[in-house]
């Protein structure tokens, strides 16, 4: 098979786009021709463009939607399908890999029809496409169609596989390919971390971090509540990193809790790893999380997480070994757990070391890329 793939993903600050980008980069390093199709260049692609393999083998194709006043909502899926079909035809690409079932897989199916070539469609389910958006009555049927018309389907965790089986009439195989991180980017050796610590948490203050795209499911205001409880017992500072719809509400919550002077909000475009490495703990009180890529990124930088025991997080975090898991509604318990660790530095250090080993030991990148390649081969048969 010609070693070329079209990767369709969201360019925004979110896990599915990051995984799609890192997969494309890893495939290009293996000699594949990679075509990203999206509305904007993938967020993390710039981290790798100094490599000649990436510059030569990766191409970004921008989807532009014409804004026409007659439409209340611009038909983005159609523009996306047209662009995928053009790329598939022009470069004779055998595989379209859609990350997130809607609208990406639907656009991929349309593009396949339009391109009239021998193109396979692979769908990777990332989470809310099944657990939240896909369950909405207006989307359930189209997600069911997206699954059944795909040549291969993968999910990022065992949890997501089970949720898909439970909620959707789809009997085909679902391969589990967990998320992974780029080890050359996410690791413990981050020289800028010391200055970040000095700036935000001097004189032995504890430094906590929350990273999210501020959607309701992330419960960012609850992260502030947990922080406020921690700070009432010990000197501490919190970094809230990211952008999204709940950010203003979260800032308001910090103010109401009287901790805004000790909470720094930073947008999501910065170089994340030094901030992760500078922190003692990450707080992730999500209401749902199919995998929790942000937790794995923190762990890779040696920062354990105090997180919700929900969804795919127990597949990522070994409770008591490299992080702590509590029921999502137990914000008080999460605060106590965080305080317990901050007051027991030798235990925190052991957890930090175990966390740093986790991505490579349990989710090595090359192993996950091999799995995706097997899926592409299966989809072609
Ligand atoms: O929820 C997000 O942060 C974004 C969302 C996405 O589709 O971009 O993330 C989902 O996919 C990530 C990558 O596979 C997973 O690590 C996240 O756990 C998952 N989010 C949820 O399930 C809420």
16 Cα to the center of ligand 1, angstroms: 6
Residue 118 falls inside a structural domain: yes
- Indicate whether 22 belongs to any domain: yes
pLDDT at 380 over 90: no
Instruction: Decide: 351 and 323 in contact? Cβ < 8 Å.
Output: yes
Contact 299, 307 (CB under 8 A): no
Residue 26 to residue 34: CA distance in whole angstroms = 10
Domain check: are 150 and 260 in the same one? no
Same domain, 159 and 302: no
Identify whether 132 is part of a domain: yes
- pLDDT category at 161 given cuts 50, 70, 90 is very high
199 and 69 co-located in one domain? no
List residues bridging with 35 in a β-sheet. 6, 59
Tell me the C-alpha to C-alpha distance, in Å, between residue 271 and each of 98, 192, 221, 258: 27, 10, 23, 29
> Which stretch, 114-118, 132-136, 147-151, 264-268, has highest mean pLDDT?
147-151
Q: Is 303 in the pocket of ligand 1 (CB under 6 A)?
A: no
| Pairwise CA distance, residues 349 & 215, whole Å | 31
Mutation to probe ligand 1, out of 290, 294, 315 (largest number of atoms < 8 A from CB): 290
Ligand 1, residue 10: give the atom nearest the CA.
8
CA of 281 from ligand 1 middle (Å) equals: 20
pTM of the model: 0.96
Predicted pLDDT of residue 50: 85
Residues 162 and 281 in one domain: no
pLDDT digits (tens, 9 = 90+) for 253-304: 999 999 999 999 998 777 899 999 999 999 999 999 999 999 999 999 999 9
pLDDT at 99 over 80: yes
Beta carbon of 181 within 6 Å of any ligand 1 atom? no
Which pLDDT belongs to residue 381?
Answer: 79
User: How many structural domains compose the chain?
Assistant: 2
- Average pLDDT for 147-172: 97
Owning domain of residue 350: 193-362
Give the CATH number, domain containing residue 279. Answer: 3.40.50.2000
More confident site: 99 or 74:
99
Q: How far is the CA of 162 from the centre of ligand 1 (A)?
A: 16
Q: How far is the CA of 232 from the centre of ligand 1 (A)?
A: 32
For residue 185, being part of any structural domain is answered with: no
Q: What mean pLDDT is reported for the chain?
A: 95
Asked if residue 177 lies in contact with residue 371, where contact means CB atoms within 8 angstroms, the answer is yes
| Of 32-41, 65-74, 181-190, 369-378, minimum mean pLDDT range | 65-74
Judge if the beta carbon of residue 328 lies within 6 A of ligand 1: no
Query: Which of ligand 1's atoms lies nearest the C-alpha of 129?
Result: 7
Residue 89, pLDDT above cutoff 90: yes
Q: How far is the CA of 156 from the centre of ligand 1 (A)?
A: 9
Indicate if ligand 1 lies below 6 Å from the C-beta of 242: no
Is 126 near ligand 1, meaning CB less than 6 Å away?
Answer: yes
Whole-number pLDDT of residue 269? 73
Residue 243 lies in a domain: yes
d(C-alpha 53, C-alpha 34), whole Å: 11
Residue 107 has pLDDT above 80, yes or no: yes
Q: How confident is the model at residue 1 (pLDDT cuts 50, 70, 90)?
A: confident
- Ligand 1 neighbourhood includes 179 CB (under 6 angstroms): yes
Instruction: Check if 180 has its Cβ closer than 6 Å to any atom of ligand 1.
Output: no
Tokens of 347: 């235990």
Average pLDDT on 328-333 reads 97
How many angstroms is it from 15 CA to the middle of ligand 1? 5
d(CA 274, CA 121): 37
Mean pLDDT, residues 117-124 taken together: 94
Tell how far the Cα of 155 is from the centroid of ligand 1, in angstroms: 11
Q: Are residues 291 and 303 in the same domain?
A: yes
Helix (H, G, I), strand (E, B) or coil at 62: strand
Look at residue 351 and tell me if it is in a domain: yes
The CA 82 to ligand 1 mean position distance, Å, reads 26
Ligand 1 atom closest to Cα of residue 286: 23
Q: What is the pLDDT of residue 246?
A: 96
List, in sequence order, the alpha helices (H) in 301-330.
313-316
Q: pLDDT at position 108, please? A: 97
The values of phi and psi at residue 289, to 5°, are: -160, 115
Q: Are residues 215 and 308 in the same domain?
A: yes
Beta partners for residue 8, in sequence order:
37, 98
- Nearest atom in ligand 1 to 156's CA: 14
Both 340 and 324 in a single domain?
yes
DSSP annotation of 156 reads S
How far apart are the CA of 292 and the centre of ligand 1, in A? 7
Work out the pLDDT band at 65, boundaries 50, 70, 90: confident
238 and 197 fall within a common domain: yes
Among 52-56, 107-111, 153-157, 210-214, name the one with the lowest average pLDDT.
Answer: 52-56
Q: Please give the distance, rounded to the nearest whole angstrom, from the Cα atom of residue 139 to the centre of ligand 1.
A: 18
Is 26 found in the same domain as 131?
A: yes
Point out the ligand 1 atom lying closest to the alpha carbon of residue 291. 18
**What Rg, from alpha-carbon coordinates, does the chain have?**
21
What's residue 4's pLDDT?
96
């Amino acid at each position: 098979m010609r070693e070329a793939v079209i990767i369709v993903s969201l360019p925004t600050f979110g896990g599915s786009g990051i995984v799609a980008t890192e997969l494309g980069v890893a495939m290009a390093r293996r000699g594949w021709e990679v075509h990203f199709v999206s509305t904007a260049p993938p967020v993390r692609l710039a981290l790798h463009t100094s490599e000649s393999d990436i510059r030569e083998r990766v191409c970004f194709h921008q989807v532009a939607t014409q804004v026409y006043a007659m439409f209340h909502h611009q038909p983005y899926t159609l523009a996306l399908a047209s662009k995928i079909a053009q790329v598939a035809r022009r470069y004779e690409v055998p595989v379209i890999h859609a990350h997130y079932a809607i609208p990406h897989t639907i656009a991929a199916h349309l593009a396949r029809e339009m391109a009239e070539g021998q193109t396979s469609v692979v769908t990777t389910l990332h989470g809310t496409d099944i657990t939240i958006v896909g369950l909405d009555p207006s989307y359930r049927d189209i997600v069911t169609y997206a699954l059944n018309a795909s040549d291969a389907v993968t999910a990022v965790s065992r949890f997501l596989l089970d949720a898909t089986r439970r909620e959707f009439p789809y009997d085909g195989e679902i391969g589990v390919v967990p998320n992974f991180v780029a080890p050359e980017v996410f690791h413990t050796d981050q020289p800028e971390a010391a200055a970040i610590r000095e700036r935000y948490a001097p004189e032995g203050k504890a430094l906590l971090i929350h990273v999210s795209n501020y959607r309701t499911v992330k419960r960012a205001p609850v992260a502030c509540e947990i922080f406020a409880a921690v700070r009432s017992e010990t000197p501490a500072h919190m970094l809230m990193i990211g952008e999204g719809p709940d950010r203003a509400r979260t800032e308001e919550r910090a103010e109401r809790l009287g901790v805004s002077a000790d909470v720094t909000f930073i947008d999501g475009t910065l170089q994340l790893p030094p901030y992760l490495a500078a922190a003692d703990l990450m707080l992730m009180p999500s209401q749902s999380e199919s995998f929790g890529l942000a937790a794995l990124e923190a762990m890779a930088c040696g920062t354990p997480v105090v997180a919700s025991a929900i969804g795919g997080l127990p597949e990522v975090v070994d409770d008591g070994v490299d992080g702590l898991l509590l029921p999502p509604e137990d914000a008080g318990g999460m605060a106590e757990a965080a305080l317990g660790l901050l007051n027991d530095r030798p235990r925190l250090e052991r957890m930090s070391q175990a966390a740093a080993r986790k991505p490579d030991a349990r989710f090595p990148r090359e192993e996950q890329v091999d799995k995706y390649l097997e899926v592409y081969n299966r989809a072609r048969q």
